[in-house]
Amino acid sequence: MLEAQDLFCERDDRVLFQRLSFSLSPGQVMQIQGSNGSGKTTLLRILCGLNTDYEGRILWENQPIQKLRTQFRDNVFFLGHAPAINKSLSPLENLRWFCASRGVRDNGDIPAALAAFGLAGYEDVPCYVMSAGQ
């Protein structure tokens, strides 16, 4: 059983979640849903013990995961996403590079493509300050 009790996480002076509690029994599934940058990946990393920057408690088999570190990690698998981007470039620069590397001419459509994916206003922001979902 996995249980979260009163989880709180803040990043860059922005609360991602607070007073988050739930419990899952073996075989149960929970869907985590939210907009880009809302903290979904952060929550998953916290639940897997990969991120310790939170308040609250996470229990596995009724014990804090810190006490059962080896057993807990032997029973958890986290498959994150590895973006195929250069984090020091902006989204605009990354897409221009990608197009150029494939011989695709930039017809000025990149800003519209970024907007279609909810990244309008982030065109020139370095990717390392953006969330994994963004």
Q: pLDDT > 90: what percent of the chain?
A: 46
Residue 105's pLDDT is 84
> What's the CA gap between 109 and 123, in Å, rounded?
12
Average pLDDT over residues 24-28: 90
Residue 36's pLDDT is 82
Residue 47's pLDDT is 93
Average pLDDT over residues 15-30: 93
Residue 52: CB atoms within 10 Å: 8
Tell me the whole-structure pTM to 2 decimals: 0.62
Domain extents for the chain?
2-74, 91-129
- Side-by-side strand order, sheet with 63-64: 14-24, 2-11, 55-60, 63-64
- Judging by DSSP bridges, how do beta strands 2-11 and 63-64 pair with one another? unpaired
Residue 124's pLDDT is 93
Residue (of 1, 9, 6, 11) closest to 130 by Cα position = 11
For 94-126, how does the pLDDT look when each residue is reduced to its tens digit (9 = 90+)? 899 888 877 888 888 899 999 998 899 999 999
> What's the CA gap between 52 and 99, in Å, rounded?
38
For 69-87, how does the pLDDT look when each residue is reduced to its tens digit (9 = 90+)? 888 888 887 777 766 788 8
Average pLDDT over residues 51-80: 88
First to last CA, the chain: 31
Residue 82's pLDDT is 65
Report the alpha-carbon angle 101-107-113, nearest 5: 85
